[in-house]
């Protein structure tokens, strides 16, 4: 059998690769028949005027990929691939599916002046260069110990919590952590109660893991514990510091009642404290976890809203009683947050920048919140009322809107405004609105745009 | 009713916080009875010699938290909390649970000289400062478009794949992406076949989502497609470039047979290409995805082994036919990888550093691989045989070990060696061993340690 490739001596491709590609194509196209014998390495080397090594390299690549086989003492033979029709697409097809671009919203994200990027960068450069960080090894599955210590300290001192670092689990986003939590509790629990309206992305995770979902309707009075008691749920997902999206705060008597329910029913309370740090009227409301005597609260926190959404660092504090199960299933997962980011954040916290940062953003968002309220008042008069705005990074509004919910949603999206419709009737709509990402000098422009979306 | 707090004028705590804490403690301890009326703001201001604002601030914090309530025109009253026993733990309890520290392994991770950290740092600093990155907004749910383009290009040119950027989904780890994939396919599929032995952390995810698991035993001849055909699985998880952990390569006829199976059964093939880039004997084996004409291969890749384990960036290429479902469920998830890291990586790839890096690590690991083999040969003679070592970052060994599997595992862990036992009998054990993290100058020491673990 003769092989007669044409070589391109000017190509950047090594000769053995050109030979390999030539033979492979001959086999695929059927020109080299199954079971036919290839020239021996010595023969090919002589006839093609190539070194034996070149031939050897090409042949071994073809053997490794299974196009030819080396039969001891007999030589190299073409494998039988005729059963399968090769039709390898050699050029990248232009996809016919429309590129589904993500929408960027005017009001999403955090304030551009809020973050001390030069400090972060300085710490990053230090951490990456530091031998102790050991960026070359994978990190701790649970989260770097240094960061878990800082987080425990943060939860205890800034949020009134009560935890040790061994209860803290670090992960890339609350959803990921919830999946892990479900892995810990699923042998004992299968029904969860969620706030409605609430943080739907949490509900989805429970749904994905085949939990039964019970919707507890949140009213102006907040979370109705009576309804929870009547349900068969043993796990409840709540946002007591600042109910998402309605913005109500759960008063201490309800918190105690909820803890009481958990104790009596051997239940679990998942506390989502997504923006509990940011409150304008006074100090932050201490978290529910700190009131828990019976080891039944799971606390979820995230640095995305607090610090920078382009970082993905969240954490979960689990009760001590769940630690034994966690330690048995822990190695089923990998750590999802960059070790480098974890150590940078730990340094950021340890050196006091987090406390400074929180003070700063409280000032920034308080001002933004007031300017927004004033701008809305001036522009919309009594067509729009702000119902809740004393904490967090979104406000809840009620507006005399005559559009359908769908039309409103569409207009908002087109304008680049992220609008979360809570309820709507014929001539009234209640929605929540992120405002953290609106530039302070753009508040009037934003108000104009919102006016068009709502009333035109 | 009289309140008589003692203030500490030297405390760093604001007076209103001291007053708030005083009243809160009086309520919790039962000294302030339910329904008793607090002095009015005017009265308290006069009697305590504090400004009205201070009293107001303390009172509103107590109202917000639900300890007192403001009855219009009547004044402030203590809420009834007697039903619940308060026993707030004010100091952080020393946990009684042993801190479950993570073990760091001598042989895990990547080579310390493999990564051009100064380039990465330079790109990081540039990206963070660049307005276009917009670190203040959350990124794309699917992954930054810039990175997805670079990844598609990488898969097509370096791995012989065939994808557009709209098929690429970025996420923090293969496990996270698998969870997402299951969300896409679960309405049509519920049974998956996995390689045994194989990458168990993938199997766990399917288990978590209640998939039926069918174990297909991988032999010296690789993955037996006949066994797959006999099973009722419609989805199969394989590592064709470099079977994990056995290290076999799936030849092209089997690949075609597998694709044929998928076509005939409307099946899906999940290709885990965890270290397919690294092969010493010749070029990397092109991926299965590139041979797929019928849009049925999901390709999984990760930069953790290729680049740096302390970064968490993985990706998944899904077939075009899954895009419509993906776009409907996409917003159920958040992006789990830092946007900053994504953009830094995209720049790293675009500027050609990835190709350079891969060339470099191939050289480094090839040398390490050879040194290790020589060191094993010299030290262990015929008590240990390396079965497979021509690619990837681990080798497969067979050793004449008389210890029980459990004792061996324990001794390895204590010594800090990560050993993955594939099979063991009375006097023989087959295991795979990562070697990427062993320093080149520590290979002899490592061999000594391994010898102790195996044979003493």
Do B324 and B445 lie in one domain? The reply is no
Do A338 and A437 lie in one domain? The reply is no
Q: Please indicate, yes or no, if residue A330 is contained in any of the structural domains.
A: yes
CA distance A187 to chain B (A): 11
**Number of C-beta neighbours around residue B108 at 10 A:** 20
Average pLDDT, chain B: 90
Mark residue B114 as left, alpha or beta (left: phi above 0; alpha: psi -120 to 50; beta: remaining): alpha
Which residues neighbour B432 within 8 Å (Cβ) at sequence distance 6 or greater? B245, B246, B247, B394, B395, B396, B397, B420, B422
Per-residue confidence (pLDDT) for residue A90, from 0 to 100: 42
B381 has a pLDDT exceeding 90: yes
Does A189 contact chain B (CB < 8 Å)? no
Q: Please indicate, yes or no, if residue A403 is contained in any of the structural domains.
A: yes
Per-residue confidence (pLDDT) for residue A239, from 0 to 100: 95
Q: Please indicate, yes or no, if residue A146 is contained in any of the structural domains.
A: yes
Rounded distance between C-alpha atoms, residue A410 and residue A419, angstroms? 10
Burial class (CB in 10 A: 0-12, 13-18, 19+), A232: exposed
B95 has a pLDDT exceeding 60: no
How much of chain B exceeds pLDDT 70, in percent?
95
Rounded distance between C-alpha atoms, residue B15 and residue B450, angstroms? 64
Per-residue confidence (pLDDT) for residue B349, from 0 to 100: 96
Of B57, B137, B338, the CB nearest to A338: B338
Q: Please indicate, yes or no, if residue A9 is contained in any of the structural domains.
A: no
Using the 3D structure, point to which of A82, A101, A128 is the last residue of a domain: A82
Per-residue confidence (pLDDT) for residue B28, from 0 to 100: 85
Beta partners for B77?
B37, B69
Do B176 and B230 lie in one domain? The reply is yes
Rounded distance between C-alpha atoms, residue A216 and residue A226, angstroms? 10
Per-residue confidence (pLDDT) for residue A299, from 0 to 100: 98
- Beta carbons of A253 and B79 less than 8 Å apart: yes
**3-class SS at A87?**
coil
Q: Please indicate, yes or no, if residue A297 is contained in any of the structural domains.
A: yes
Please compute the mean of the pLDDT values over residues A61-66 and round it to a whole number.
Answer: 88
Burial class (CB in 10 A: 0-12, 13-18, 19+), A132: exposed
Does A437 contact chain B (CB < 8 Å)? yes
A364 has a pLDDT exceeding 70: yes
Taking alpha carbons only, the member of A396, A448, A415, A35 closest to residue A197 is A396
Do B279 and B415 lie in one domain? The reply is no
Distances from the Cα of A428 to the Cα of A404, A424, B133, B242, angstroms: 10, 6, 38, 61
A1 has a pLDDT exceeding 70: no
Structure tokens at A166: 């061994």
Rounded distance between C-alpha atoms, residue B223 and residue A17, angstroms? 27
Burial class (CB in 10 A: 0-12, 13-18, 19+), B159: buried
Does A241 contact chain B (CB < 8 Å)? no
Please compute the mean of the pLDDT values over residues B371-392 and round it to a whole number.
Answer: 90
Does B2 contact chain A (CB < 8 Å)? no
Return the CATH number at A156. Answer: 3.40.640.10
Rounded distance between C-alpha atoms, residue B164 and residue B156, angstroms? 9
Chain A residues in contact with B95 by the CB 8 A cut-off are 164, 166-167, 320
Rounded distance between C-alpha atoms, residue A212 and residue A191, angstroms? 5
Total domains in the fold of chain B: 3
Per-residue confidence (pLDDT) for residue B92, from 0 to 100: 41
Closest chain A residue to the Cα of B286, Cα to Cα:
A65
**Number of C-beta neighbours around residue B215 at 10 A:** 14
Do A179 and A151 lie in one domain? The reply is yes
Burial class (CB in 10 A: 0-12, 13-18, 19+), B72: exposed
B308 has a pLDDT exceeding 60: yes
Average pLDDT, chain A: 90
Do B164 and B194 lie in one domain? The reply is yes
Query: B218 near B225, Cβ under 8 Å?
Result: no
Query: B441 near B447, Cβ under 8 Å?
Result: no
Please compute the mean of the pLDDT values over residues B373-380 and round it to a whole number.
Answer: 94
**3-class SS at B302?**
strand
Residue in this structure with the two tokens 């309530």, named with its chain if needed: B69
Q: What is the pLDDT of residues A269-309, one digit of tens each?
A: 999 998 888 888 778 889 999 999 999 999 999 998 889 98
Its domain, for residue A412, covers: 356-455
Do A375 and A345 lie in one domain? The reply is no
Q: What is the pLDDT of residues A369-391, one digit of tens each?
A: 999 999 999 999 999 999 887 77
A182 has a pLDDT exceeding 60: yes
Per-residue confidence (pLDDT) for residue A94, from 0 to 100: 43
- Beta carbons of A84 and B253 less than 8 Å apart: yes
Q: What is the largest CA-CA distance in chain B?
A: 94
Q: Please indicate, yes or no, if residue B94 is contained in any of the structural domains.
A: no
Higher pLDDT, A95 or B225: B225
Do B330 and B368 lie in one domain? The reply is no
Rounded distance between C-alpha atoms, residue B190 and residue A338, angstroms? 32
Q: What is the pLDDT of residues A259-272, one digit of tens each?
A: 999 999 999 999 99
pLDDT band at B304 (very low <50, low <70, confident <90, very high): confident
Per-residue confidence (pLDDT) for residue B224, from 0 to 100: 95
Q: What is the pLDDT of residues A207-258, one digit of tens each?
A: 989 999 999 999 888 899 999 999 999 999 999 998 989 888 899 999 999 9
Residues 214-233, chain B, touching A (beta carbon < 8 A): none
The B314-317 sheet, strands edge to edge = B168-171, B314-317, B297-302, B268-272, B235-238, B191-196, B212-217
Does A113 contact chain B (CB < 8 Å)? no
Per-residue confidence (pLDDT) for residue B333, from 0 to 100: 87
Return the CATH number at A26. Answer: 1.10.10.10
A102 has a pLDDT exceeding 70: no
**3-class SS at B170?**
strand
Q: Which helix (H) or strand (E) holds A412?
A: helix A405-415
Q: Please indicate, yes or no, if residue A24 is contained in any of the structural domains.
A: yes
Per-residue confidence (pLDDT) for residue B109, from 0 to 100: 87
Q: What is the pLDDT of residues B100-127, one digit of tens each?
A: 456 678 888 888 888 999 999 999 999 9
Using the 3D structure, point to which of B304, B334, B351 is the last residue of a domain: B351
Per-residue confidence (pLDDT) for residue A14, from 0 to 100: 86
Closest chain B residue to the Cα of A340, Cα to Cα:
B310
B-interface mutation test, from A23, A34, A64, most B Cβ less than 10 A away: A64
Of A60, A172, A208, the CB nearest to B209: A208
Taking alpha carbons only, the member of B109, B431, B368, B387 closest to residue B248 is B387
Q: Provide long-range contacts, Cβ within 8 A and 24+ apart, for A96-102.
A: A96/B320, A97/B166, A97/B320, A97/B323, A97/B324, A98/B166, A99/B145, A99/B165, A99/B166, A100/B142, A100/B166, A100/B323, A100/B327, A100/B330, A101/B145, A102/B139, A102/B140, A102/B141, A102/B142
Do A281 and A193 lie in one domain? The reply is yes
Beta partners for A270?
A237, A298
Distances from the Cα of B367 to the Cα of A84, B308, B333, angstroms: 39, 19, 42
Chain A residues in contact with B136 by the CB 8 A cut-off are 109-112, 114-115, 308-310, 437
Do A202 and A347 lie in one domain? The reply is yes
Per-residue confidence (pLDDT) for residue A85, from 0 to 100: 65
Cα dihedral sign for A238, A242, A247, A249? positive
Query: A382 near A410, Cβ under 8 Å?
Result: no
Per-residue confidence (pLDDT) for residue B94, from 0 to 100: 43
Which residues neighbour A59 within 8 Å (Cβ) at sequence distance 6 or greater? A38, A41, A68, A70, A76
- Beta carbons of A285 and B92 less than 8 Å apart: no
Please compute the mean of the pLDDT values over residues A429-435 and round it to a whole number.
Answer: 93
Rounded distance between C-alpha atoms, residue B271 and residue B397, angstroms? 25
Distances from the Cα of A164 to the Cα of A155, A253, A322, angstroms: 10, 26, 14
Using the 3D structure, point to which of A28, A56, A82 is the last residue of a domain: A82
pTM over 0.90: no
Residues 123-142, chain B, touching A (beta carbon < 8 A): 124-125, 128-129, 133-142
- Beta carbons of A334 and B175 less than 8 Å apart: yes
Per-residue confidence (pLDDT) for residue B86, from 0 to 100: 64
Burial class (CB in 10 A: 0-12, 13-18, 19+), A301: buried
| Strand ranges inside A200-354, DSSP E | 212-217, 235-238, 268-272, 297-302, 314-317
CB pairs under 8 A between A and B: 321
Do B402 and B374 lie in one domain? The reply is yes
**Number of C-beta neighbours around residue B201 at 10 A:** 15
Of A100, A133, A334, the CB nearest to B201: A334
Q: Please indicate, yes or no, if residue B246 is contained in any of the structural domains.
A: yes
Q: What is the pLDDT of residues B172-229, one digit of tens each?
A: 999 999 999 999 999 999 999 999 999 999 999 999 899 999 999 998 888 999 999 9
- Beta carbons of A96 and B251 less than 8 Å apart: no
Of A17, A310, A390, the CB nearest to B339: A310
The alpha carbon of residue B436 and the mean position of all alpha carbons in its chain are separated, in whole angstroms, by 19
A128 has a pLDDT exceeding 50: yes
Please compute the mean of the pLDDT values over residues A184-205 and round it to a whole number.
Answer: 95
Q: How many CA atoms lie within 13 A of B155 on its CB side?
A: 35
Report the residue count for chain B. Answer: 456
Please compute the mean of the pLDDT values over residues A407-430 and round it to a whole number.
Answer: 92
Do A195 and A237 lie in one domain? The reply is yes
């Amino acid at each position: 059998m003769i092989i007669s490739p044409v070589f391109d001596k000017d190509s950047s491709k090594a000769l053995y690769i050109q030979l390999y590609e030539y033979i492979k194509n001959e086999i695929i196209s059927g020109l080299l028949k199954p079971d036919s014998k290839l020239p021996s390495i010595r023969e090919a080397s002589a006839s093609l005027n190539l070194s034996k090594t070149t031939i050897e390299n090409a042949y071994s690549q073809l053997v490794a990929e299974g196009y030819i086989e080396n039969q001891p003492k007999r030589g190299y033979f073409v494998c039988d691939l005729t059963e399968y029709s090769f039709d390898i697409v050699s050029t990248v097809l232009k996809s016919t599916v429309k590129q589904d671009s993500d929408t960027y919203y005017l009001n999403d994200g955090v304030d551009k002046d809020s973050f001390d990027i030069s400090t972060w960068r300085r710490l990053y450069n230090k951490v990456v260069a530091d031998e102790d960080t050991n960026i070359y090894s994978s990190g701790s599955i649970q989260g770097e110990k240094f960061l878990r210590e800082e987080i425990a300290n943060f939860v205890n001192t800034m949020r009134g919590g009560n935890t040790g670092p061994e209860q803290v689990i670090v992960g890339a986003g609350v959803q990921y952590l919830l999946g892990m939590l479900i892995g810990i509790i699923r042998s004992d629990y299968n029904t969860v109660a969620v706030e409605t309206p609430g943080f739907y992305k949490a509900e989805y995770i429970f749904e994905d893991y085949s939990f039964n979902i019970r919707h507890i309707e949140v009213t102006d009075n907040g979370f109705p514990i009576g309804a929870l008691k009547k349900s068969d749920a043993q796990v409840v997902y709540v946002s007591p510091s600042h109910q998402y999206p309605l913005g109500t705060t759960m008063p201490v008597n309800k918190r105690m009642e909820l803890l009481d329910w958990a104790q009596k029913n051997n239940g679990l309370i998942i506390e989502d404290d997504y923006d509990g740090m940011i409150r304008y009227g006074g100090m932050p409301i201490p978290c529910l976890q700190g009131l828990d005597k019976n080891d039944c609260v799971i606390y979820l926190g995230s640095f995305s809203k607090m610090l920078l959404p382009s970082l993905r660092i969240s954490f979960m504090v689990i009760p001590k009683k769940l630690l034994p199960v966690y330690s048995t299933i822990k190695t089923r997962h990998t750590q999802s947050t960059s070790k480098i980011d974890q150590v940078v954040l730990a340094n950021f916290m340890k050196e006091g920048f987090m406390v400074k940062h929180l003070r700063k953003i409280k000032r920034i968002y308080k001002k933004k919140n007031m300017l927004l309220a004033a701008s809305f008042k001036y522009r919309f008069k009594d067509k729009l009322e702000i119902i809740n705005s004393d904490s967090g990074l979104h406000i809840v509004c009620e507006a005399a809107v005559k559009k359908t919910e769908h039309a409103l949603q569409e207009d908002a999206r087109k304008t680049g405004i992220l609008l979360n419709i809570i309820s709507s009737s014929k001539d009234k709509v209640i929605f929540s609105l992120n405002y953290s990402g609106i530039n302070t000098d753009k508040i009037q422009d934003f108000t104009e745009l919102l006016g068009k979306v709502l009333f035109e």
